Amino acid sequence: MEDLVAFAFRFVAYMAFGLCMEMLVAIDGIERLVGVRIPRRVPRRYLEGFVSAYMIPLHGLGILFLFEPGSALISGLPIPVRFLVYAAGITACEIGWGFLLDRTLGFFPWDYYALSKWRIGKRGYSLWTLVPLWGLAGMLLERYTSLMLHLSPHVVSYYGF
């Protein structure tokens, strides 16, 4: 039961972190990364960001079961190597998740990437302009996952397990 509580805590923390980061990038940065204007429902001054609930499994489970053990495996490597591994790995996950959603649902939430000249693949499952940002995200996630792993036992004991 303790492991389940720890996993649930980290799943929610990773899901919230991922969705918040997506929303912050979507407010302004995504059009720069895509290289085209994206139609908006409200004026930019409202700082509206957009995310998709289809990203919850990728953020929550992907970080929990892929990133945590992966970062532990490469923790002893030099920073530039870890940066490259994260850039390639997170890009591969984005491409894989986009492909899976496209095949099962007939679309993926960031299908507007196909409008970009920097798209990866014909459908634009990722962008070349995102690759270095995924490396930075991986470096940030190292610290965040370390904090969540440190806090997990305290959360478990708080709930009396």
Residues of the chain with pLDDT under 70: none
| Closest to 117 measured CA to CA, from 34, 38, 39 | 34
User: How many domains would you assign to the chain?
Assistant: 1
Query: Could you give the CA distance from residue 51 to residue 56 in angstroms, rounded to a whole number?
Result: 10
pLDDT value at position 134? 96
Query: How far is the C-alpha of 87 from the C-alpha of 105, rounded, in Å?
Result: 26
Angle at 103 between CA 94 and CA 117, to 5 degrees: 50
Contact 134, 91 (CB under 8 A): yes
Torsion of CA 117, 49, 137, 115, to 10 degrees: -10
User: Which range marks the domain in which residue 46 is found?
Assistant: 2-158
Please tell me the predicted confidence (pLDDT) of residue 39.
77
pLDDT in tens, 95-133: 999 999 999 999 999 988 998 999 999 999 999 999 999
State the pLDDT at residue 31.
80
Coil vs helix vs strand at 127 = strand
| pLDDT value of position 132 | 96
